[in-house]
A = this chain, B = another copy of it.
Amino acid sequence: MLPYMPPGNDIEFVLYDLFDAETEWAQIPAFDSFDRDTVRAIVTECGKLARDVMAPLSQSSDEEGAHWNDGVVTAPEGFKDAYAALAAGGWLGVSGNPEFGGQGLPKMLTASLEEMFWGANTNLWLYATLTVGAAICVDAHADEDTRRLYLPKFYSGEWTGAMALTEAHAGTDLGLIRTRATPRSDGHYSITGTKIFITSGEHDLVKNIVHLVLAKVPDAPAGSRGISLFLVPKYIPGDDGLLGERNGFESASIEHKMGIKGSATSVINYGDAIGYLIGEPNQGLACMFTMMNYERLSVGIQGLGLAERAYQMSSSYAKERVQGRVPEGSRVANTDADAIVGHPDVRRMLLTQRAYNEGGRAFSMYVGLQLDRAKYAPIEAVREKASGFVDLLTPVAKAFITDRGLECTLLGQQVFGGHGYIREWGVEQLVRDVRIAQIYEGANGIQALDLVLRKVLRDGGATVGELIDDIRQTEVPERYTAAMDEALNAWQEVTRWLCDSAPSDSNLPGAASVDYLDVTGHVLYAWMWARMAGVSGSTDKRYVADYYFAKLLPRYYSLVASIRGGSASLMEPSSDWF
């Protein structure tokens, strides 16, 4: 299999040429040490680790899978050493709180590092990413002692994290969970219940695994307002961080999945496990939401990382594979056939990948920039505005990037013809591995509902309007201004139409949501492309921008028409009819 090629140059292009990170970070005291040389060193080292340590284990981990034996879960061959290398390099703490040993890198930068980790080896990175999420949650909501005890262990990679939310009957609707938290005499809780789909809930990579578990305290209100969050470590640490007694939970089995087979996904049984309340009782969902914007962006980036890998593989194959004659007649003497990269339809498949991948890289880093501003910008108005954009754009980043991730890995596979279906070539694994990103961390349909109900309708389209104003104020090359205007008008009008129509049609938001998210993503990527093409001397970007505006941006025409098609045809049949 082709080595993974870290896109370091393009990351620097997005950071500096597109988003002017130097000016941006100069305004934020926490970031003023991140000069160009430092950032280049970080991006380069990350790329090397991704390429040399992580990527070579991706395919073998898929073939081998994770192992379960009487509650003991073993990661695939080589993962233990590779994870140790990730930990030793400090890569688990890049976005961590410096007060507790984290490195406090800007999210705009760590978004790009995550892309490389996901792209090189999604199976391995899954053992790490939940740790990052758990750390954010503990940092935001746990008390000082808990933070001091746990955060350095997370950031150093010594312990990993896991999120235990889903139960067999309760996935999207967490209000239905049944796991109970009973108060103990020592002020803590006793956790009992069964959780499923627990990524890295049990494994052999590190000595301790810290679960964040949603459960219900006695007499909790019904539904999602009665959920509390508990920290449940596999081994209970003393105040000195030394591991004590084993806690009362174990892996009942691991799931057999379509993909991410090297990632161990456990069913976990909690039987009177000691749990430490994080935050206030019944405020568990709110605590989870703190890290959700970060986690959802990260899962979006999974889609990007794998799609970038598919592009690298398929473009390389298309340049080597000879088959048929290009329409203009071959320019290669003494050959029977031309490289398929010359065929217009193969170029369609390659350019679509380029357009959505590089568009996705810019967009994901733009969302990272907004997260940074929301947290660190010195001016409150800037923080508030960015915070609104984060809320608006997070579901788009999660769903749109992963939807395009599936589309692009499928295109990459298609370029390989029959060989794309054969496991040895490695590209079909990307399709299977990316598919989960559309499902977990809130299925993409749920992201679309979140976008329409909470982020658009709730403020009557005000935040969308603010973003559109920002976009209109950006200078873009003249060749794209008309199409850009038309797209913005269409987005604005359909937003207004939704806001006007939803009050009298309660089914409309759900009927329109997936299409609406798709319109939003396509317009935002157009903005990214127009801006990238506008960077002086960027012929590479101009090529792809031209393609994007000619071939992909027009997708919103149909989506807008479908939105305006309303909800009636969806709701007329009775439920039994289906």
Contacts and interface: CB of A to CB of B under 8 A. Distances in A.
Contacts of A256: 422-424
A243 B385 CA distance: 81
Contacts of A196: 418
Contacts of A573: 347, 543
A348 B222 contact: no
Residue in A258, A342, A417, A444 with the greatest tally of chain B CB atoms within 10 Å:
A258
A319 interface: yes
Contact of A327 (B222, B342, B343, B509): B509
A538 interface: no
Given A315-B578, A345-B514, A414-B438, A543 B569 contact: yes
A2 interface: no
A568 B117 CA distance: 35
B323 A176 contact: yes
Interface stretch (A87-95, A186-194, A459-467, A553-561): A553-561
B257 A576 contact: no
Given A344-B571, A570-B347, A570-B348, A421 B435 contact: yes
A436 B421 contact: yes
Contacts of A347: 570-571, 573, 578
Q: Is the interface of A mostly helix, strand, loop or mixed?
A: helix
A347 B568 CA distance: 11
Interface residues of A, number: 101
A567 B510 contact: no
A507 interface: yes
Contacts of A572: 543, 546
Contact of A550 (B341, B513, B547, B569): B569
B431 A418 contact: no
Contacts of A175: 336-337
Contacts of A557: 554, 557-558, 561
A570 B324 contact: no
Contacts of A567: 344
A181 interface: no
Contacts of A144: none
Interface stretch (A48-56, A166-174, A212-220): A166-174
A67 interface: no
Contacts of A406: 410
A223 B336 CA distance: 8
A439 B418 contact: yes
A344 B578 contact: no
Interface in A209-262: 222-223, 255-259
Contacts of A305: none
A423 B345 contact: no
A318 interface: yes
A348 B511 contact: yes
Interface-central residue, A336, A410, A559, A568, by most chain B CB under 10 Å:
A336
A16 interface: no
A497 interface: no
A26 to B, nearest CB: 35
A506 B558 contact: no
A152 interface: no
B417 A543 contact: no
Contacts of A449: 345
Contacts of A570: 344, 347-348, 351, 547, 551
Given A176-B337, A546-B572, 8 more contacts: A339-B575, A341-B578, A346-B445, A414-B443, A417-B439, A417-B443, A421-B439, A546-B569
8 contacts: A175-B337, A258-B432, A315-B578, A327-B507, A344-B507, A347-B578, A546-B572, A551-B562
